[in-house]
Amino acid sequence: MLEKFTWYKQSAYKWKGEGITVYIDPWGLRPQEEPADVIFITHAHADHYEPADIEKIKKSSTQYVAPKDVADKLKGNVKAVKPGESLDVAGIKFQTVAAYNTAPQRLQAHPKSNNWVGYIISLDGHRFWFSGDGDPNPDIEQVKTDVALICIGGDPYVMNASEAAGVVKKIKPQLAVPNHYGFVVGVASDAETFAREAAPVKVQVLKPVNAFERTGAAAR
């Protein structure tokens, strides 16, 4: 189910389908990439909303989906969203899911009041949940998805590998994919912890286009 995906770093993906190219939180893109038909942005932090990378892939017809604080900064065909919506863009159906912190030490990183989001995007007949940044919370524990692409990097921004494993065991996707580790927070081996603790949920670990910057204990 992941054959059409490219993982760049953090939570940045490209999905290249038949006649349509979709990016989620583009960051760490190569100089030459396919132009975007649709760009989804989860929130305003620089590792998710990076104008320089958007410049590399935008065209006059690119459509954008983003929370209001990011949407207000974009020009062109922009759809501002908030949690709890079911919409479509360029023929792609998607839902927005609230993404926020609940752990006391992380509450200010992604406050619920910001109305930042993750997305459940329907592609090729499967539902892919891109978690955005946050912690286990009642909203994400209601997610129905075939594939969960979930942040695992831990303090000070997002849930850690063990907490993310608990989420996927509750929502029971067919497949779980860890992200948001090995670059700004977390280390490369966090994926192994996540895979072990998420059992019996199947986990697939992708290799990022960009080399991991935080590779082991010495990086902590």
Summarize pLDDT for 157-187 with one digit per residue, the tens: 999 999 999 999 999 999 999 999 999 999 9
Contact 179, 186 (CB under 8 A): no
Taking Cα atoms as reference points, which of 89, 108, 111 lies closest to residue 100? 111
pTM, rounded to two decimals: 0.97
Residue 52, both tokens: 């320089």
Contact 172, 198 (CB under 8 A): no
Domains of the chain: 5-206 (3.60.15.10)
Q: Which element (helix H / strand E) includes 119?
A: strand 117-123
Q: Which residues contact 211 (CB under 8 A, 6 or more apart)?
A: none
* Paired strand residues for 128: 121, 147
CA–CA separation, 37 and 192 (whole Å)? 34
Q: Please count the residues of the chain.
A: 220
CA–CA separation, 77 and 67 (whole Å)? 14
Q: Which residues contact 18 (CB under 8 A, 6 or more apart)?
A: none
Cβ neighbours, 10 Å, residue 128: 25
Positions of the chain with pLDDT under 50? 218-220
CA–CA separation, 168 and 163 (whole Å)? 9
Distance of CA 10 to the CA centre of its chain: 8
Contact 220, 190 (CB under 8 A): no
Q: Which SS3 state, helix, strand or coil, does residue 7 take? A: strand
CA–CA separation, 188 and 104 (whole Å)? 25
